[in-house]
Structure 1
Amino acid sequence: MVRHKPSPSFNITSLTVSIPTKKRAQSTTPSRWSTLEFRIYLLIIVLTVPWMAWVVIRISLPTHPAYHLFSDRLSHSWLFGWPVDNWDAQYRSFRNNVPILAAVAGVHALLTYFVPTQLRLRLNLVFALVFNVALHGTSTLKILAILSLNYALRARHPSFTWVFNVAMLFANDRFSGYSYASISPSLGWLDDWEGVYPRWYISFNITMLRLVSFNMDYYAATTTPKSDSHPPHAYSFPVYLTYALFAPLYIAGPIIPFNDFLVQIEPQSTRPLTQKQEERPTTLIKPYFIRFIFTLLTMEVLIHTMYVVAIKDARPWEHAAYLPSELALLSFFSLIHVWLKLLIPWRFFRLWSLLAGIDPPENMVRCMVNNYSALAFWRAWHRSFNLWIVRYIYIPLGGSHRQLLNSLLIFTFVALWHDLTFRLLAWGWLVSIFLIPEMVAGWVFSAEKFGDRPWYRHLCVLGAVLNAFMMMAANLVGFVIGTDGVRYFVGQLVGTKEGLQFLVCAVAGMFVGVQVMFEYREEEKRRGIYRRC
């Protein structure tokens, strides 16, 4: 694996963040960007995208008849006095705390810069403990107790680790983090100091992944040691605590495997002799900071002009105030909002980690609308989680030998890991079902058999359009409007004249968009960039 180094000159492929890629022969297909076909496609996109945005802006204006249904969910803001849709609780908790998080990240980065390399492990451990106490107050003792129990299982078979950590997820949710008073009335006074983020068990899902990673990496190193394995003394309790509670990645990730973290946090004392010192990620910081600011401002424009969260939480399917096209585009931009509300915190925390000298995986590789394959989509969406799943679940379960069964088990775990609700369980099963058409089509119409036929690209695009609609439906169920909303939405699309007219236009528009996605990936290959997403 090699990290692609961007060309000094800016080009269209520079829009996608750089990640490690595999070396392959360059694409032999000539560029289609200057052909009449693609000039027409690009013209359609230039004309259509502003109209799509305007439809959602229009239903967000005070002049819209349904404005009163969601106006109480809007807040005052800093931008021209416009109301802002800060209704999404998950993003609101991050947005409202950006200044304090930036200050904490700045202090941590300065300390990392000035503290000698040999003391950085100790610095990160102390900083992580102080940060955790500030977040969770006395609940830090509960977290340390769970971490200690997990550490005690490190030498046992991985099944013990899995049973323990899955049980902790259910128990944490069932008992809402275990108040001290429920353990013993004499300990009730400990509940008074909750910290700034008392619900520690919500973010513990991320910590659980690190606990599994540490134990499985330790077990592999001690039972099947390889030439590039870390020595057993490297898996000490202080290093384990530093990894599990590492401040930049503690709240939301990205997730970095323990062995990868260890190579970067203690490069001299724990690096196997066969590995070379890697360059610190300082060269990534400036361009990555620019990407973060751009995405942050994009979200600000979105929530100040399109009130998608406020409108969809008002359950628009219960009112006759919206046209099918308006509901469809509201759902589309709701998915854009979901993408941005995850992308921005992940990029912030990865930027903080880069400043601290640790380079975790990039979580979001593609823009949400630059995906057409269900399999590739999950490699690019929450990428560090996907890499974790492949390493600790997919490969141990047998990998591609039982791909469909493994996918069903994995997406069930992913859904329950996110939240113990039926809606996300339905999402996981839908995603698994929607993988089947793509897998069958890839087997029947393989590139090896038909790749040189002139119609093959267009057939693949039609299949990708179907894929894209299924992925949007699954994510609308899981993360936006639920099963009731999707049921009403589909009924409006296929059960009304206006809905059918819009559906035909949407399929045509998606066809154009996927053609551009295909060519974008071909352009990446021409430049030596190969991503499996």
Structure 2
Amino acid sequence: MLLVSLLAPLVTSEGLDSRIKPSSKKGASPPTKPSLWKTTEFKFYYLVFLVAVPLMFRAGLQASSLDNPNYTRYERLLSQGWLFGRKVDNSDSQYRFFRDNFVLLSALMIAHTSIKRIVIYSTNISKLRFDLIFGLIFLVAAHGVNSIRILGHMLILYTISHSLKNHRKIATIIIWAYGISTLFINDNFRSYPFGSVCSLLSPLDNWYRGIIPRWDVFFNFTLLRVLSYNLDFL
């Protein structure tokens, strides 16, 4: 229980980002909308949940069952699971990385939050600057020189939203169009040599590729965050 009490503050919403901490200023609270939990709409959602979720589990159990007539076709893709001796599909690189490194990622999350608190408490570095520095270090460690490709996409999307901020509809269309196109660009050119773009960039092709060379797989999460930022900005 002592360990839980020590770690709990690190994973609260306020602990992860103190910017969302409620204001301590006194004053009239802004008007709030009535709760939707008991409305007909939400009751429909509850019904869908009660029906759909069990069917999802049922479909997964049937697909991975030895009795499935197609089992022999994909048995080679299954790995030993951790529940009731059943095998799991661990072929997807994105989820395989998460499952295989769950303990390490959890430790990294706790370490990041702890270091952040210590640094901010003992120095004059702002939370924003710490997140920027730590984020860049983590990005380079994870994807190495391919971080340039990720930052390039982010810079283009950032430029679109800020240069067209007075034309929201046009900016939104262009942002979505480019954002979706990056998925196809990455799929076809994720390993495109830097030297083919410019001979001066040839040395980059031999640089550190990071812990996760397949940067394009995890770029999907980055894209969602960047789209969210740009649309909120507009």
> Common fold, TM-score beyond 0.5?
yes
Q: Give the AA of the match of 1:101.
A: L
Instruction: Quote the residue 1:326 is aligned against.
Output: none
TM-score normalised by the chain length of structure 2: 0.56
Q: Give the AA of the match of 1:72.
A: R
Count residues with an aligned counterpart. Answer: 178
| Whole-angstrom CA distance in 2 between matches of 1:172 and 1:70 | 27
Selected match of 2:174 from 158, 163, 172: 163
Partner SS, residue 197 of structure 1: coil
Instruction: Quote the residue 1:85 is aligned against.
Output: 88
Instruction: Quote the residue 2:223 is aligned against.
Output: 208
Q: How does 1:63-142 map to 2 (within 5 A)?
A: 67-77=71-81, 82=85, 84-89=87-92, 90-116=94-120, 119-142=126-149
Partner SS, residue 60 of structure 1: coil
| Whole-angstrom CA distance in 1 between matches of 2:155 and 2:217 | 19
TM-fit CA distance, 1:132:
0.8
Instruction: Quote the residue 1:348 is aligned against.
Output: none
Selected match of 1:173 from 178, 184, 187: 184
| Whole-angstrom CA distance in 2 between matches of 1:143 and 1:54 | 36
Give per-residue Cα distances to partners, 1:35-90, cap 9 Å, x unaligned: xxxxxxxxxx9xxx7xx9599469723x777654443233245667x352233414
| Whole-angstrom CA distance in 2 between matches of 1:168 and 1:208 | 7
| Whole-angstrom CA distance in 1 between matches of 2:156 and 2:172 | 10
Structure 1's 140 and 72: CA in aligned 2 closer, same or farther, altered over 3 A?
closer
TM-fit CA distance, 1:137:
0.9
Structure 2 gaps, min length 5: 1-31, 40-49
Q: How does 1:167-316 map to 2 (within 5 A)?
A: 167=178, 169-171=180-182, 173-174=184-185, 175-177=188-190, 178-192=192-206, 193-219=208-234
TM-fit CA distance, 1:135:
1.8
Give per-residue Cα distances to partners, 1:472-519, cap 9 Å, x unaligned: xxxxxxxxxxxxxxxxxxxxxxxxxxxxxxxxxxxxxxxxxxxxxxxx
Percentage of matched positions with identical amino acids: 31
Give per-residue Cα distances to partners, 1:255-301, cap 9 Å, x unaligned: xxxxxxxxxxxxxxxxxxxxxxxxxxxxxxxxxxxxxxxxxxxxxxx
Structure 1's 167 and 77: CA in aligned 2 closer, same or farther, altered over 3 A?
closer
Q: Give the AA of the match of 1:74.
A: L
| Whole-angstrom CA distance in 2 between matches of 1:59 and 1:113 | 45
TM-fit CA distance, 1:209:
4.1
Structure 1's 59 and 124: CA in aligned 2 closer, same or farther, altered over 3 A?
closer
* Aligned Cα root-mean-square deviation (Å): 4.1
Structure 1's 54 and 113: CA in aligned 2 closer, same or farther, altered over 3 A?
same
Q: Is the 8 A contact 2:143 2:211 kept in 1?
A: yes
| Whole-angstrom CA distance in 1 between matches of 2:209 and 2:180 | 20
Structure 1's 188 and 165: CA in aligned 2 closer, same or farther, altered over 3 A?
farther
TM-fit CA distance, 1:121:
1.7
Structure 1's 199 and 59: CA in aligned 2 closer, same or farther, altered over 3 A?
closer
Larger Rg, first or second structure (1 or 2): 1
Structure 1's 167 and 206: CA in aligned 2 closer, same or farther, altered over 3 A?
same
Partner SS, residue 212 of structure 2: coil
Partner SS, residue 116 of structure 1: helix
| Whole-angstrom CA distance in 1 between matches of 2:151 and 2:89 | 34
TM-score normalised by the chain length of structure 1: 0.28
Q: Is the 8 A contact 2:64 2:87 kept in 1?
A: no
Q: Give the AA of the match of 1:113.
A: R
Q: Is the 8 A contact 1:176 1:201 kept in 2?
A: no
| Whole-angstrom CA distance in 2 between matches of 1:180 and 1:77 | 40
Q: Give the AA of the match of 2:128.
A: L
